Structure 1
């Protein structure tokens, strides 16, 4: 009876080892699959963040160009108005001088 028991024991141990080796492989496969999926998701998210950053930088650049254009036009218009107003003041002063001189000479 001893050798038959030993043979049965070895057979059952072999079956048990095979069963659990397959289970470990299944667990490893599941882990690998889930890890790869999580990594893909991370990379996709990172790419999305990078795209968002690039879009934000592009928008910022475009806004700054638009602002600079508006500012330069506003500065040019303000300078033109200033020059015109100063010219008017000078012309008025000249007119006042000539008027005052005429009044002085008439008196």
Structure 2
């Protein structure tokens, strides 16, 4: 019986084996979730950058739209100024012609001695 006891290896305490297994598995789990966490952070960064690019693109679009609107406003004001200047010139010309007609008519009435029919 002594021989059989000597040939057998000494049994390793179960608690030590379990602790070693536990540490190994915990290490694997940590690595797995560290990789997952890195992927999540990477995805988050990627999405934030994408959103920021989209915002800048939109802002540039808004700025372009704003500049176009300002340009249209200026063009419209120039067009209005041209029309107003033309209308004023035409009105002044018409007024001058009418005043000239009235003066000529008044001179004719003076010369002929006739009174205007609308005057009392």
Shift of residue 2, structure 1, vs aligned partner = 2.5
List aligned pairs for 1:59-70, cutoff 5 A.
59-70=72-83
* Equivalent residue in structure 1 for 2:65, among 20, 27, 52: 52
Alignment RMSD: 1.1
* Bigger helix fraction: 1
Match of 1:10 in 2: 23
**Bigger Cα Rg:** 2
Give, in whole Å, the separation in 1 of the partners of 2:76 and 2:66. 15
Structure 1 length-normalised TM: 0.90
* TM-score normalized by the length of structure 2: 0.81
1:14-93 alignment to 2 at 5 Å?
14-93=27-106
Q: Determine the C-alpha separation between the residues in 1 that align with 2:15 and 2:93.
A: 115
The corresponding residue for 1:104 is none
Consecutive unaligned residues in structure 1, runs of 5 or more = 102-107
Residue of structure 2 equivalent to 1:105: none
Give the Cα separation in 2 of the matches to 1:18 and 1:99. 119
State the 1:3 CA deviation. 2.1
Secondary structure class of the residue paired with 2:113: helix
Q: Which runs of 5+ in 2 are unaligned?
A: 1-13, 115-120
